[in-house]
Structure 1
Amino acid sequence: MPYTEIEGHRLALSNLDKVLYPASGFTKGEALHYYASVAEALLPHLHGRPLSFFRFPDGVEGGGFFAKNVPPGAPDWVTTAEVTHVSREPLHQVLVEDLATLVWAANIAALELHTPQWRVDRVDRVNSADRVGTGNLADRLVFDLDPGEGATLLDCRTVALWIRDRLADDGLTALPKTSGAKGLHLLAAITPAPSAAASAYAKKIAEEAEAALPGLALSRMTRALRKRKVFVDHSQNAAAKTTAAPYTLRARPRPTVSAPVTWDELEAATSPDELIFLAPGLPARLERHGDLLAPLLTPAHARPLPA
């Protein structure tokens, strides 16, 4: 079994030749290389956010499972936090704070990384479990635009443009990324606010989108209503919910990535295929564009929710 040393931590790497994406032959070794290559852009978006892993030890066709609690056998140098206010039972979750932890997570086939819209409030970070209080506040607003049967990612774009302009009316700046699956995510930096307030505001915007675009946008989760429409999922603003992180791999037939995009790219696209990004191309894309979601990391860009 090969070993590597990352930031002073010795890490055993296993089954690097194992194919995790059979349709494209993408291996676990390539997944590790991908995450290491995009770590500089990815890690700031994970910082302070307890991770939920979607693990696929037998590859994307072998079935996966969500893991919120720290996986058995995690190294003692992995930073963790006990989260007590988002479920009936306390959760003991991983914080991916450094490259070593990111590579470790990829090595246990945690292909998808999902984060809440709030950060653990910690002044002094140590490699031990810290209890999280009940006062965590959302610092991001998220809308997950999910196309139903007969709708496409380009229909999501139409809804996204409406939401962008509506948020701008309230002083908020929406930034888009692909979900890495079928739809789009919109993110906006907000002045820290209770998750309940963020959820209520997001629901209000989703309902307004449905009223403004009645033939296309849908704010209700009822699956029977979703044919040829775009579901504006506002529920992921709840404290207990998570969203696929920027730059995470997705468990699709090919190693697609939840990739930030520009509004110009969205508006210029003539086919959904133009908005699908694969892991091998992301490092070069980052070289060209940098992190398009960097404004989310700057407190000066955050704006308060409307009263």
Structure 2
Amino acid sequence: MASKAAEVQAGGRAVRVSSPDRVIYEATDHTPDITKLMVAEYVASVEDGLMRALRDRPTALERWPSGVREGMKLATGQADRNADAFYQKRVPRGAPDYLETARITFPSGRAADEICPTEIAVPVWCAHMGTLTFHPWPVRRTADPDSLDRPDELRIDLDPQPGTSFTDAVRVAGVALDLLGELGLRGFVKTSGNRGVHIYVRIAPRWAFAEVRHAAIAFGRALEGRDDQVTTAWWKEERGERVFVDFNQNCRDRTIASAYSLRPLPGAPVSTPLPYAQLRELTDPRELNLTTVPALLADQGDAWAEIDDVAHSLEPLLELWEADPRELNFPPDHPKMPGEPPRVQPSKKVAEHWDQDGNRVDGPK
């Protein structure tokens, strides 16, 4: 017999949670079985940090309605219709009347009404719908009609490649924070919830997505020049055993797991903001999980509490871009962009098959 629905108190609202005893994460050596109700209660418990990350931002949902098990697959395209989990970029049916939306435009030109959290009851309801990870856009909905086209976050995604580790990403994050400081920018760091590290910089919402992406490329190149364990190479075969700065996380419709989001990995790890000194002492990011992060937040407060105090100018990074404005590849689902290199692995490229603009042409006759 299915368990009766439960309720979770969330900001003065009682949010219904169906199938509360469903196991979402199976027990590990460090965590017990984690149920759907526990996930919803976790979301409510990290309200201060989570809403700082989500409030007024169009947010895609990563839904795992049957829970997380080895071998389960996350759908990433139309061909994955039978996957166990999926990204929800439009408001699910049955949404409560207090849920607000924002209309966003994808690179294809298509538009959608996406969830725009304004209160903690919304993410708790999303947890009831099987959401584990929240993917907010780097924009905020305001009265300005252009606000959803003007990012207010620069996102630096440090992704350790095979042969490198979380410890390597943490060390590089320290170099990155120092470089940002020299440029007059303050970065805020968090674990990815897996092996990587994320650094966010709050910026004034004056620049378009393309300019923010160029700023990310420029920063990545500057970091690459300072540390030989860093790479901005888009093609995996060229990265080597280094930490990749994923500049394309700043493209339109590219999102990163929010602060305080759960990740679909054993042990229910959390993407957790930390002071860098504390991050530097962390040896295993799995220590930061659903069972430990609420107490950490309650005890220490949100490490990103001051992130909105200053909205920095992007000009120092755009000046670096102008000094070296070489375009890099966009993600494969984006339209081909002017100046973009050929979208083919370097090892498979035959020069005479490509024109100077990076477009495929007939090979030699």
Q: Normalising by structure 1, report the TM-score.
A: 0.89
| Alignment-derived partner of residue 303 in structure 1 | 312
| Alignment-derived partner of residue 281 in structure 1 | 292
Deviations 1:255-283 (A, max 9, x none): 000001111113334x3x16741111112
Counterpart CA distance in 1 for 2:259 and 2:42 is 13
| Alignment-derived partner of residue 41 in structure 1 | 49
Q: Which protein has the bigger strand share?
A: 1
Q: CA deviation at 1:166?
A: 1.3
Counterpart CA distance in 1 for 2:11 and 2:35 is 24
Aligned letter for 1:118? V
| Alignment-derived partner of residue 203 in structure 2 | 190
Identify which of structures 1 and 2 has the higher relative contact order when contacts are C-alpha pairs closer than 8 Å and 6+ apart. Answer: 1
| Alignment-derived partner of residue 5 in structure 2 | 2
Question: Which residues of structure 1 form unaligned runs of 5+?
Answer: 124-131
| Alignment-derived partner of residue 222 in structure 1 | 235
| Alignment-derived partner of residue 160 in structure 1 | 173
Deviations 1:81-124 (A, max 9, x none): 2213654211110012112212100000110001121112237x
| Alignment-derived partner of residue 127 in structure 1 | none
Counterpart CA distance in 2 for 1:276 and 1:237 is 28
| Alignment-derived partner of residue 54 in structure 1 | 62
Q: Which moved more, 1:234-243 or 1:30-39?
A: 234-243
Q: CA deviation at 1:49?
A: 0.5
Give the alignment partner of residue 13 of structure 1, picking from 10, 17, 30. 17
Q: CA deviation at 1:171?
A: 0.5
| Alignment-derived partner of residue 159 in structure 2 | 146
Counterpart CA distance in 2 for 1:186 and 1:82 is 27
Q: Calculate percent identity across the aligned residue pairs.
A: 31
Aligned letter for 1:2? A
Q: 1:231 to 1:7 in 2, by over 3 A?
A: closer
Q: CA deviation at 1:43?
A: 0.9
Question: Which residues of structure 2 form unaligned runs of 5+?
Answer: 73-83, 320-365
Number of residues paired by the alignment? 294
Bigger-Rg structure (1/2): 2
Deviations 1:138-195 (A, max 9, x none): 1111111111111111111221112111111210011110000111000111122322
Counterpart CA distance in 2 for 1:87 and 1:148 is 30
| Alignment-derived partner of residue 110 in structure 1 | 131
Counterpart CA distance in 1 for 2:152 and 2:57 is 11
| Alignment-derived partner of residue 169 in structure 1 | 182
- What SS is found at the alignment partner of 1:278? coil
Q: CA deviation at 1:77?
A: 2.4
- What SS is found at the alignment partner of 1:280? coil
- What SS is found at the alignment partner of 1:192? coil
Q: Which moved more, 1:136-145 or 1:170-179?
A: 136-145
Give the alignment partner of residue 249 of structure 1, picking from 262, 268, 271. 262
Cα RMSD (Å) of the superposition? 2.0
Aligned letter for 1:12? R
Q: CA deviation at 1:219?
A: 0.7
Q: 1:77 to 1:259 in 2, by over 3 A?
A: same
